[in-house]
Amino acid sequence: MDKNYPVPQEFWAGKRVCVTGGAGFLGSFVQQVLRARGATEIFIPTIEEYDLTDIEDIRRMLEDAKPHIVIHLAALAGGIGANRARPAEFFYKNLMMGVPLMHESWARGVEKFVAIGTICAYPKFTPVPFKEENLWDGYPEETNAPYGLAKKMLLVQAQAYRQQYGFDAIYLLPVNLYGPRDNFNLETSHVIPALIRKMVEAQERGDEQVVLWGDGSPTREFFYAGDAALGIVMAAERYNGPEPVNLGAGMEISIKDLAHLIARLTGFEGEIVWDTGKPNGQPRRRLDVTRAKEYFGFEAQMPFEEGLRRTISWFRENRERIR
């Protein structure tokens, strides 16, 4: 792999970049990184203005943005509860946002398409750490398979369009994200913001216990959103290959240990009770992050406990405007 990487300011000079989902959680960090690395023409389509499941809105957005590069972050995502309640929506909306967008980007001569996949695309029983070559070894974990498979089709499409048309589409697989500005709505949030909100509110009320789903045994890898944004932008600058690439921190922690860590950091001193009638989700998740370092020089920087402290601090400071 060529290590003569482009200078970021030179790479982004004069380039228009369209970031779908750019107004969202990860997108806010991607915007920051792009500006820090010299991008000045950043187009952020909002959901109010463009429905990316509508082909005409996709075409209108590309006409308005006239991008050289598309970074496709937009997704309908959520935790186990949301995926179980709305599997058809998670499949359809993610497929119809991604596949037509990549096709129309190719048809309009976009120079590069950066597709963001999901860790949920991996088979339920993938050997740990997850290596990219294991992606097709089995069916994803049932609770989020429709979402994972819809996003996985972008990898198939990227490789097919590269093979037939020479289209420079790359596919990245970020692990579970967390950080300031995350979604703290308990109906749709992922595990870290949900735990933070539950612990903070229980501590403020003086509750004696917090009830959590599952038995706490599954392990997860968590990836600070600022690090994820840097990895995505570095891949846009430096990576032009067909293989999928994991993006993560290369760490692993059980949900039980995570809950106790967040309890300590938030000051919750009550009992943690596990509702074992609720699903655990995939047993283990940790990524092999060798490719990202080898292919485009990316390594995660944020220490986990420091990232949690920043996330908890942001939640406390922004409580009034969080639903």
* Domain, as residue range, for 36: 8-179+222-251+283-302
Which is the catalytic residue, given 50, 122, 147, 161?
A: 147
Q: Answer yes or no: 147 catalytic.
A: yes
Is residue 247 in a domain? yes
Is residue 296 in a domain? yes
Q: How many domains does the chain have?
A: 1
CATH code for position 247: 3.40.50.720
pLDDT at res. 323:
67
Does the predicted TM-score (pTM) go above 0.75?
yes
Is residue 117 in a domain? yes
Residue 230's identity, in one-letter code, is: L
Is residue 316 in a domain? no
| Concatenated DSSP letters of 59-120 | HHHHHHH--SEEEE-------HHHHHH-HHHHHHHHHHHHHHHHHHHHHTT-SEEEEE--GG
Distance CA 74, CA 72 (A): 6
Is residue 269 in a domain? no
pLDDT at res. 80:
74
Note down pLDDT in tens along the chain; length 323 residues: 457 899 999 999 999 999 999 999 999 999 999 999 999 999 999 999 999 999 999 999 999 999 999 999 999 877 777 778 899 999 999 999 999 999 999 999 999 999 999 988 999 889 999 999 999 999 998 888 999 999 999 999 999 999 999 999 999 999 999 999 999 988 878 899 999 999 999 999 999 999 998 999 999 999 999 999 999 999 999 999 999 999 999 999 999 999 999 999 999 999 999 999 888 877 888 999 999 999 999 999 999 999 999 999 999 999 888 76
- Residues 223, 111, 290: CA angle, nearest 5 degrees: 30
Is residue 173 in a domain? yes
Q: What are the backbone angles phi and psi of residue 209, rounded to the nearest 5°?
A: -150, 160
pLDDT at res. 84:
85
pLDDT at res. 81:
77
